[in-house]
Structure 1
Amino acid sequence: MADTQQVDEGTDAKQAAKAERRAARLAKEIDAFAKAHGGAEGQVAYIGERGARIVLVGEDGGWGDLVAPTYDIAEKAVQKAGITVHEAFDGEFAGKVRTGPYEWTRMAGIQLGGKRTA
């Protein structure tokens, strides 16, 4: 019985260390985005079995996203990065996003049955 418990504890420790490394890598990516865009804010959204999506909006209106394997890892990553995190992607936060011609052409093409650009 004791051997099984030690194996479980070792596995748990390895999984925790792996999750910590993943959160640290995501935090570095968030930091890089923030530096490139004059700062950043974010929102974490659960996307089911795939994990969680971290939506980032820069001070310049640029935007991007990252996917974390779990919601907990996503939350740790934004905490490590030290960005402001919003509960929802709406209102003033969503209004900061600036889209360009590519996004408008792509959205119009998909919605109107036109040529897909991707």
Structure 2
Amino acid sequence: MTSADPTPGALDGGSVRGLDGGPVAPRLRSFLDAHGGVGTAVVSSVGRRGARIVVVAESDGAWADAVVASVPDAVAVCSAAGITVADHWTRELSGRVTVSDADRRRMAGTGR
């Protein structure tokens, strides 16, 4: 099975829910619409937990992420949202990411 093959019981990408219970495709599409409409996603396996989708807006480097049950679900979400999926993080894509002060605090684990 490749990462693009559907998993048994996988729904269309528009109905896949994140681990928080909310629909993922509309949220990621809305994020991109607020940041120029075009972006690229990278899907990474996070083991048993599922797969993480990170979407980077082309216009300003803003980013959003979501965790879903599997890599095939993540690919389906991106397809439903009209988001191109990159094979991996490239130097260009990584360089495009804009990290805010709030992101830095959150990643540091301070929560302040």
Give the alignment of 1:56-95 within 5 angstroms: 56-58=55-57, 59-95=59-95
- Give the structure with the higher percent helix: 1
Give the whole-Å Cα distance in 1 for the aligned partners of 2:46 and 2:105.
26
Gaps of 5+ in 2: 1-7, 18-22
Gaps of 5+ in 1: 1-11
Q: CA deviation at 1:81?
A: 1.5
Give the whole-Å Cα distance in 2 for the aligned partners of 1:34 and 1:63.
9
Q: CA deviation at 1:105?
A: 4.9
What is the DSSP-based 3-state SS (H/G/I as helix, E as strand, rest coil) of the residue aligned with 1:88? coil
What percentage of aligned pairs have identical amino acids? 32
* Highest RCO, 1 vs 2 (Cα 8 Å, sep ≥ 6): 2
Give the whole-Å Cα distance in 1 for the aligned partners of 2:31 and 2:25.
10
Query: How many aligned positions are there?
Result: 96
Give the alignment of 1:1-118 within 5 angstroms: 15-16=9-10, 19-20=11-12, 21-22=15-16, 25-38=23-36, 39-58=38-57, 59-105=59-105, 110=108, 116-118=110-112
TM-score normalised by L of structure 1: 0.69
Which consecutive aligned stretches of 4+ in structure 1 deviate over 2 angstroms post-superposition?
100-107, 115-118
What is the DSSP-based 3-state SS (H/G/I as helix, E as strand, rest coil) of the residue aligned with 1:31? helix
> Over aligned residues, Cα RMSD in angstroms?
2.2
Residues 18-43 of structure 1: CA deviation (Å, up to 9, x unaligned): x33216x3221221111011122111
Please say which structure displays the higher CA radius of gyration: 1
Cα distance 1:61–1:75, how it changes in 2: closer, same or farther (>3 A)?
Answer: same
- Preserved CA contact (<8 Å) 2:75 2:85: no
Give the whole-Å Cα distance in 2 for the aligned partners of 1:46 and 1:69.
10
Counterpart residue type for residue 56 of structure 1? V
Give the whole-Å Cα distance in 1 for the aligned partners of 2:81 and 2:105.
33
